[in-house]
Amino acid sequence: MVDLRLDAQWIDYAIIALYFVFVLGVGWYAKRGISTSIEFFLSGRSLPAWVTGLAFISANLGAVEIMGMSATGAQYGLPTMHYFWVGAVPAMLFLGVVMMPFYYGSKVRSVPEFMRMRFGTGAHLVNSLSFAVAQLLIAGVNLSLLATVVNRLLGWPMWVGLVLAAAFVLFYITVGGLSAAIYNEVLQFFVIVAALLPLTLIGLHRVGGWEGMKERIAGDGVGGAEQLHTWPGQALSGFDSPVLSVVGIVFGLGFVLSFGYWTTNFVEVQRAMASKSITAARMTPIIGAFPKMLIPFIVIVPGMIAAVLVGELAEFKQLDVGGDAAGAAASGVTYNDALLLLMRDVLPNGLLGVAIAGLLAAFMAGMAANISAFNTVVTYDLYEQYVKKGAPDGHYTLIGRIATAAACVIAIFTALIAGQFSNLMDYLQTLFGFFNAPLFATFILGMFWKRMTPTAGWAGLVSGTLAAVALWSASTFFGVFELPGQGLAFVSAATAFVVDIVVSVIVTRFTAPKPAHELKGLVYSETPKADLVDPEAKDLPFWRRPAPMAGIALVLVIILNIVFA
């Protein structure tokens, strides 16, 4: 194991301590606004768009964004940008323009509750259970990385990091509910940027700037020039054919995985649901799309720098690309260490404390987002719906706090599972393919096809998920076929999507649909257009209206794809 121990001084520990004081203070301050279950779980639907927009992004700035993307950047280079410019921004804009009016306008308290209103209890139960399990697994990713960072950078035992992080998240969510999570996510967004921007700039200076980094990557012999262009991204997708690679990235990542995650994942949608109006809810993901385009420059680029600047990682990459698995394992590092190694080698004291606080902020933001969504679904969608209906409102708030405590404890154990993956993107994209891809297929059919039946809803979900699991198992455990890079995740997700659509269409032909009058607010053709917009929105300046701002964001992301192609 390579020594990643940092020479942290009192100033670094003081910065970290100050950050945690602010985290606890925000949680305690948010407690004042908690008197009902809606205030605990959805902030009373009272927050402005800029707050929920930043929280929308920060909730996703967890392990996958920080450590996972820097690791993938070190491994594949600029093609990793696809996770942002193809695999995030278009779907976020679609959520804000098309889907958020249905979620917010129907007054549902969660995405699974929308599923129940559209398809009934069968699809609802499948969605609620799969979502709850996924959040516990993904919360474990954030917790595992946080404990690893604390252990490898500061020398603290793993169990200390696990318990302390879980305890902090438990405190501020239990006390302040979703408001505490959201306001902490806004704080964490700025802390993360303050941590990663200096790391990127100093790292670039060490390698001779942007051009110097490109020259060193082009001449390193383990990826070379293709790592300096986003397209066609064959190493990332796992396809030898450039055409298949583009198709895989656009359809598998850009459509199925991306839209499945951003438009149906309650972890993200919950932030928009906490907004004060339907316009604010629609603006939430659109506002988030603008920083989302720029985040890869402070997340992916440091991984690329580390791969050519840090000797241990450069040696590991040579062995890994050369197919020497034993030598790569013996080197003592993995791609997940890219950011930590760069911090160790380039940051002075003071900035080191900010960087550590930024990483802790990222992992806690991700974990808190998973936990706050988990407690809402467990309380409203499982407990209230199937265990105890009609209880006093305070009873459900209590159940939410109990669910929060249980989730924090369980996440400590699921953290052990996450630690088995050398690149966390493999783990997370696999989970998204299992759970989000078929969910998106069901949602998009059900939202725009009124004939789709409740039976088709749950049958499609189950079939799509099982198809993805079967395909992944055939490749992973039985070696039926092999797809390197992220190809297996893309193909599994695409399979889940297609199987869900096919099964849903077939089952719909033989089962009865819901009456049309029950689909108002749930299906596009049955919902009056006036119900999908805020009547006051037309009087707002263009920068506060969803459609024009989404158009600007779309143009910008297209330009980025062209410039870095």
DSSP string, 1-34: ---------HHHHHHHHHHHHHHHHHHHHHGGG-
Return the residue matching tokens 């369980």: 410
The conformation of residue 47, written as its DSSP 8-state character, comes to B
Residue boundaries of the structural domains of the chain:
10-30+43-563
| Cβ-based neighbours of 200, under 8 Å, separated by 6 or more | 297, 298, 301, 302, 305
How crowded is the C-beta side of 484, counted as CA atoms within 13 Å?
12
Angle between helices 454-476 and 111-119 (to 10 degrees): 130
**pLDDT band for position 82 (cuts 50, 70, 90):** very high
Instruction: Please report the pLDDT score of residue 247 as a whole number.
Output: 86
Contact between 23 and 169 under an 8 Å Cβ cutoff? The reply is no
| pLDDT digit string, tens, across residues 205-234 | 999 999 988 888 887 655 667 888 888 888
SS (H, E, C) 380-416: HHHHHHHCCCCCCHHHHHHHHHHHHHHHHHHHHHHHH
SS (H, E, C) 105-140: HCCCCCHHHHHHHHHCHHHHHHHHHHHHHHHHHHHH
Q: For a pLDDT cut of 90, what percent of the chain falls above it?
A: 27
| Cβ-based neighbours of 293, under 8 Å, separated by 6 or more | 84, 85, 89, 553, 556, 557, 560
Average pLDDT for residues 496-501, to the nearest whole number?
92
Average pLDDT for residues 368-393, to the nearest whole number?
91
Other CB atoms within 10 Å distance of the CB of residue 372:
31
How crowded is the C-beta side of 316, counted as CA atoms within 13 Å?
24
| Cβ-based neighbours of 111, under 8 Å, separated by 6 or more | 103, 127, 131, 264, 265, 266, 269
What CATH number is given for 10-30+43-563 in this structure? 1.20.1730.10
CA distances from 250 to 84, 247, 256, 313 (A): 12, 5, 9, 30
Side chain identity, residue 213: M
SS (H, E, C) 216-227: HHHCCCCCHHHH
Other CB atoms within 10 Å distance of the CB of residue 543:
10
Average pLDDT for residues 229-240, to the nearest whole number?
81
CA distances from 25 to 32, 171, 233 (A): 12, 11, 45
Backbone φ and ψ of 115, nearest 5° = -60, -40
Side chain identity, residue 416: L
Average pLDDT over all residues of the chain: 84
Whether the pLDDT of residue 531 is over 80: the answer is no
> What's the rounded Cα separation, in Å, for the pair 27 and 412?
21
Instruction: Please report the pLDDT score of residue 551 as a whole number.
Output: 95
**Lowest mean pLDDT across 67-76, 217-226, 335-344:** 217-226
Contact between 157 and 147 under an 8 Å Cβ cutoff? The reply is no
Whether the pLDDT of residue 151 is over 90: the answer is no
| pLDDT digit string, tens, across residues 112-137 | 998 899 998 888 998 899 889 888 88
> What's the rounded Cα separation, in Å, for the pair 501 and 463?
10
Residue 47: strand pairing partners: 275
Of 427, 424, 448, nearest in space to 522 by CA: 448
**pLDDT band for position 511 (cuts 50, 70, 90):** very high
Angle between helices 49-58 and 158-206 (to 10 degrees): 100
Contact between 127 and 443 under an 8 Å Cβ cutoff? The reply is no
> What's the rounded Cα separation, in Å, for the pair 323 and 415?
29
| pLDDT digit string, tens, across residues 284-311 | 999 999 999 999 999 999 999 998 888 8
Whether the pLDDT of residue 91 is over 90: the answer is yes
| Cβ-based neighbours of 522, under 8 Å, separated by 6 or more | 102, 106, 114, 117, 118, 446, 447
Whether the pLDDT of residue 265 is over 80: the answer is yes
Instruction: Please report the pLDDT score of residue 424 as a whole number.
Output: 56
> What's the rounded Cα separation, in Å, for the pair 136 and 424?
15
